[in-house]
Amino acid sequence: MKPHILTFETYDDWDQGPLEDTYVIHNLPHGGKIADLSSEAIANVEAFAFKGHEQLGASIMDAFPRLGMIANYGVGYDTIDVAHASSKGIKVTNTPDVLTDDVADLAVGMVIAQSRGMVGASEWITSGNWAKQGAYQLGSKVSGKTVGIVGLGRIGRAVAERLQPFGGDIHYYSRSPKDTNGWVHHDDIVSMAEVVDILIVTLSGGPETVGMVGAEALNALGADGLLVNASRGTTVNEAALLNALENQTIRGAGLDVFENEPQINPRFLALSNVLLQPHQSSGTTETRKVMGQLQRDNLAAFFAGDPLLTPVN
């Protein structure tokens, strides 16, 4: 008999087909409620194929008496109560490494697009303003700018390596110095923000990084500074960021993540100095296929009683 699993949100055909071939699928759509699931699902589900950015807490886990594993589709697992899962003997896995390149690519893309006003420039043409009013407003140069990376993990390092050929100095924040190609280490975010032109946040999510980039760091970045966040919305104090953007105490921001996704603060929508992305840093066909395969490989290992490939706890 096929094991029963619960999938969250929707999967592309290349993932859905293999899942259906292997498991009895019960699905919890975006915004769905556990109470809407069948008694068969509650009684028989042994693993979650978790996808999305909603909270997965104790009440959901405790509703399934046979739950033994949560296979997360993504590298970040800050929305999963891993401590509670561990206390219940529930294993958690994620999909690290496979999306590093895509996240780093998008972070650099946001730096370039926001500095050069690429979205606004495209709209300048499509609106007819180029023909009617002439040249678009000037942007800001990227080459030669000093860049600060907040969090030099896999993704932070990949971002720095991509930006190094642009000819500017690379600074980074971490608790201790890393083995780098002459990059400048800081153990304080504010002091780093004072000396860089572009601040890129690549921290892991979770309680320990909430609000690490706050009003003081944004003030230190200054009126010519650009902030890019490709990590989690919680890592930047969103109220402070909105104030800085509205008051133009920083030049602008490129954001792929927000505190209340996807219902983001409407104040962002009124701003002309922010580039907004719908948390799509891993959003390429190639990477999503690899993520889905790794999630399924972890599920297969769990049901076979084999060691998990990428365990979190």
| Catalytic residue set | 232, 261, 279
Residue 69 DSSP SS3: strand
Contact between residue 279 and residue 261 where contact means Cβ atoms under 8 Å apart: yes
CA distances from 9 to 30, 50, 84, 159, 177 (A): 5, 8, 22, 30, 40
Q: How far apart are CA 310 and CA 313, in angstroms?
A: 9
Measured in whole angstroms, how far is the alpha carbon of residue 285 from the centre of its chain?
Answer: 17
Question: What is the distance in angstroms between the CA of the first residue and the CA of the last residue of the chain?
Answer: 28
Residue 37 DSSP SS3: coil
Report the phi/psi class of residue 140: left, alpha or beta, with left for phi > 0 and alpha for psi in -120 to 50: beta
Beta-bridge partner residues of 186: 173
**Whose CA is closest to 213, among 199, 230, 225?**
199
